[in-house]
Chain A
Amino acid sequence: MQPSRDTHATLVDLLDRVLDKGLILNADLMIHVAGIPLLGVKLNAALAGMETMLKYGMWQDWDEAQRSIATEERRRTLRLAPQEMLHLSRIVR
């Protein structure tokens, strides 16, 4: 059996991955983005500063549990309001 990437069914696989996964820069960031109602939120304002991340070494101390909660939240939000999908964002300031 050969893996495939070209069918319509694999588009879901792609969206799942690109929108939900990938390298993450900051725990707080994800929690903020995922944990609050996304409608009309000014994302930039909610996000932690890069200096802060460096200072507290959050990249190194990344907490897997927090991440899975965030991912869960994010998915739930996506299901509830798919039209809001692209309000999800990860900007690091």
Chain B
Amino acid sequence: MEQEKGRYLYGVAASERAVRLGPMGIEGCDVYTIPYEDFCAIVHNCPTEPYQSTDEETVKRWVSAHQGVLDEAKERFGAVIPFGFDTILQPGNEATSPDQVVKDWLKGDYERLRSIMEKIKDRDEYGVQIFYEPGVIGRQIAEQSQEIQKLKEEIATKSPGMAYIYRQKLEKVAKAEMEKLADKWFKDFYGRLKPHCDDIVIEKTRKADGDRVMLLNLSCLVHKKKVDSLGRELEEISNMDGFSIHFSGPWPPYSFVAKPVVPIKGE
């Protein structure tokens, strides 16, 4: 069809089969595979316009459909290299068919795809976020820090004016202690999680809901044999007083397919 010259790309799978996955794509589009040698691109036909909407529910529906196709593809083909939302290929000229453009791309990018596939085989991505509660931790710090204990004792003996200045100093010391501890935890937790992961991307921390602070936000590439041991490690951390954990997945390896392939060993 004239308006359907675009090919929306969901991902690339290690299969040489041309198959139809059915009307499970974005807006119910028919999803199918375009093979080149032993790889295939998972696509649907679309106009050469990006999907755009300002409606949040629409966006969520599209993103869920995108993810749903990748789930189905993984079920069928094993490993899948995921694309981000709205990756669309279109022919550069009238003479080339849209499917041919996809084949040309697979051919041109074959070596890179092969090495990515090697890296993600038998592995999934997991999101790990570790939070702490400043209230609980603050009490622990106050109990353990001699400097804070001393300042507190001194405050009791001071005049109201001096006590005010001391309290400010106390807050500053407590904050510095907290930061020092956060730094230590970060290294400690990272070190504990690393042996369970083949690769880790450190993400920006986000503002957390409620009285929690996000200490660590990681995307982890984990071999299927190591998911349980990672879960146990996280369990231990979450059992520590004042800490909680958000553990999500398995996801397609979104965070590990765009960067150059370097082995993590030897780091």
User: Which residues of A approach B to under 8 Å, CB–CB?
Assistant: 1-5, 9-11, 13-25, 43-44, 49-51, 54, 59-60, 62, 64, 67, 75, 83-93
**Closest residue to A53 on the B side, CB-wise?**
B108
B60 on the interface (CB 8 Å rule)? yes
User: Which of B102-156 touch A at CB < 8 Å?
Assistant: 104-105, 108-109, 111-112, 116, 125-127
B251 at the interface (CB under 8 A from A): yes
In contact, B108 and A54 (Cβ under 8 angstroms): yes
Q: How far is the CA of A71 from the CA of B232 in the complex (A)?
A: 32
Interface size in chain B (residues, C-beta < 8 A): 61
A16 to B84, CA, bound (A): 10
Chain A residue at minimal CB-CB distance from B107:
A54
* Residues 225 to 245 of chain B near chain A (Cβ within 8 Å): 227, 231-232, 234-235, 238, 245
Measured in the bound complex, the distance between the Cα atoms of B129 and A9 in whole Å is 11
Let me know if A21 and B84 touch, CB within 8 A.
yes
Residues in chain B near residue A49, CB distance under 8 A: 92
Q: How far is the CA of A67 from the CA of B257 in the complex (A)?
A: 12
A89 touches B260 (CB 8 A): no
13 additional contacts (CB under 8 A) given A3-B126, A62-B258, A91-B6: A3-B249, A22-B84, A22-B254, A23-B116, A23-B258, A24-B84, A50-B89, A50-B105, A62-B260, A64-B259, A86-B53, A86-B86, A92-B89
Q: At the interface, yes or no: B63 with Cβ under 8 Å from chain A?
A: yes
Chain B contact residues, majority secondary structure:
mixed
Interface centre among B126, B234, B246 (most CB of A within 10 A): B246
A90 touching B60 by the CB < 8 A rule?
A: no
Known A23-B82, A83-B54; judge A91-B248 contact (CB<8 A).
no
Cβ-defined contact, B52 with A50, below 8 A: no
Contacts of A4 in B (CB 8 A): 247-248
CA–CA, A52 and B126, complex, Å: 35
Interface string of B157-198 (1 = CB under 8 A from A): 000000000000000000000000000000000000000000
Asked if B66 is an interface residue, CB under 8 A from chain A, the answer is yes
- B73, CB-defined interface residue at 8 Å: no
Residue of chain B at shortest CB distance from A63: B260
Q: How near does chain A come to B80, taking the closest CB pair, in angstroms?
A: 10
Report whether B63 and A19 are in contact in the complex, using a CB–CB cutoff of 8 Å: yes
Inter-chain contact B92/A60, CB cutoff 8 Å? no
In the complex, whether B19 has a CB less than 8 A from a CB of chain A is no
Residues of B close to A75: CB separation below 8 A: 204
- Kindly state whether residue B12 has any CB partner on chain A within 8 Å: yes
Cβ of B67 under 8 Å from chain A = yes
Q: How far, in whole Å, are A25 and B7 apart by their CA atoms in the complex?
A: 14
